[in-house]
Amino acid sequence: NDRLTVCDVHLGKAEMERHAESKVIVAVRVRPLSEDEQERNEESIVFCPDEHNLLVSQEGLVERAFSFNMVFRPECSQQEIFQTTGMRKLIDMAIEGYTCTVFAFGQTGSGKTYTITGPHSLFSEDSQESELEGLMQRSVAYLLERVQHSDELFQLCASYSEIYNEQVRDLLNPWLTYSLAVRGSTTSGFYVENLSVVEFCNLEGFMTLLERGMQNRQSSSQTQNEHSSRSHSILTLYIKHTLTGAEPVAVARGKLCIVDLARGSERVKDRDSDTEKLLEETGNINRSLLTLGKCITALVDPKKRTGHIPYRDSKLTMLLSDSLGGEGITLMIACVSPTAGNLQETMNTLRYSSKAKRIKNKPVAKSD
Ligand code: ADP
């Protein structure tokens, strides 16, 4: 209605203030031993004495102790993860006009996909399978439930993109254009030029989009799993919320970004002709993860927060600058494998995650 003044607002400031202390929440999830690992009599070296502490311990000797906002034991269910990580709060905030972000991070095989989409990537009618649905499906189901039970007006849209080798690709575009330009600035915010933003109004509509994006992500390479573990994917839900009762009419535009991060530091396996390409990929992934780490470390430090944040140093951080630098909450879920064979990668993941939150890790003497 032209006669009504429309203004963009951020709602629920008081609510936000309660979160100010914990802008970045770091959770660690330890996956259970797989059947193969159990058959090989491998044992877990990662222990969760309580819901905040985690020990990496081999042959009874503590290698290192870490503290995080949340620690999830291997037996934690998908529902518990959704509930305890406070995903509902992030979605409530996105409805109120904030930009919130969830990252899953960790080495290949540590449970990132399981956490984000579950072992079955799509919604399931089967109640046993639906118990295994990941954060993405649960978040969208909760968002739709909130929207459907509200008298206010909502418009829900989604985009799904991938960053591979510092090139951005639109996973919802049938032409699969690589290297979309990223425009904007740190002050005005960055965006991907010509990225498809598609409206959905129910679960089926969202699932059709998600399925299309996932298929496009997989079909881009013959070595499907490898490709998806070497690219970052960003699913963004855009929530336009119009408060009809307010005068003038108020519009809140919030976002929820769900990011599956590639793991860069993994050793490049010998594969002759592929090695050079893999090294380049690894370099790009490492650089973007390093930049993300630098941005988060600067943002959680009140002294550095107002200074220069190096968003421009990678496409990933450019695209996440509004969520990282804004007032919304960032939830990092670090996934770790439990066995000794993964010790190095597990330590890398835990150290990286520790830096994101200024938590003092208890120094534990190595008792050898
Ligand atoms: P990533 O995405 O990090 O490469 P996946 O999510 O594909 O790893 O997990 C690797 C394997 O471990 C899959 O077979 C997955 O089903 C299983 N898995 C991961 N996390 C869990 C968990 N919390 N409970 C049961 N199985 C899990």
Q: In 3D, which of 355, 350, 339 has the Cα closest to residue 31?
A: 339
pTM for the full predicted model: 0.86
Ligand 1 mean position, distance from CA 175 (Å): 31
CA 302 to CA 21: how far, in whole Å?
Answer: 11
184 is in an annotated binding site: no
pLDDT of the chain, 368 residues: tens digit per residue: 332 333 344 444 444 444 445 678 999 999 999 999 999 999 999 999 999 999 998 877 777 899 999 999 999 999 999 999 999 999 999 999 999 999 998 998 999 989 998 886 555 556 556 888 899 989 999 999 999 999 899 999 999 999 988 889 999 987 777 788 898 887 778 889 989 999 999 999 999 999 888 888 866 554 555 666 678 999 999 999 998 877 778 899 999 999 988 876 555 554 445 677 777 777 777 788 888 888 888 877 767 667 788 899 999 999 988 888 888 889 999 999 999 999 999 998 999 888 776 533 333 333 33
Residue 1 counted as domain residue: no
Nearest CA to ligand 1 atom 11: 109
Residue 72 counted as domain residue: yes
Domain that holds residue 161: 7-356
Give the number of the atom of ligand 1 that is nearest the alpha carbon of residue 106: 3
Residue 364 counted as domain residue: no
ipTM exceeding cut-off 0.95 for this assembly: yes
Residue 311 counted as domain residue: yes
Ligand 1 mean position, distance from CA 120 (Å): 11
CA 9 to CA 155: how far, in whole Å?
Answer: 16
Nearest CA to ligand 1 atom 19: 111
Question: Using an 8 Å Cβ cutoff, are 137 and 124 in contact?
Answer: no
Beta carbons within 8 Å of 302's beta carbon, 6+ residues apart = none
Give the number of the atom of ligand 1 that is nearest the alpha carbon of residue 78: 23
CATH, residue 202: 3.40.850.10
Strands, E assignment, 60-152 = 61-67, 70-72, 99-105
Q: Which tokens sit at 86?
A: 């406070």
Residue 365 counted as domain residue: no
CA 346 to CA 353: how far, in whole Å?
Answer: 11
Residue 14 counted as domain residue: yes
| Residue reference for tokens 């418009």 | 155
106 is in an annotated binding site: yes
What residues flank ligand 1, with Cβ below 6 Å? 31-32, 34, 106, 108-114, 119, 229, 335
- Which DSSP string corresponds to 188-207? TEEEETT---EE--SHHHHH
Question: What is the count of structural domains for the chain?
Answer: 1
Q: Which tokens sit at 107?
A: 């080495």
Residue 368 counted as domain residue: no
Residue 94 counted as domain residue: yes
Q: Which tokens sit at 308?
A: 């220069």
Q: Which tokens sit at 298?
A: 């600067």
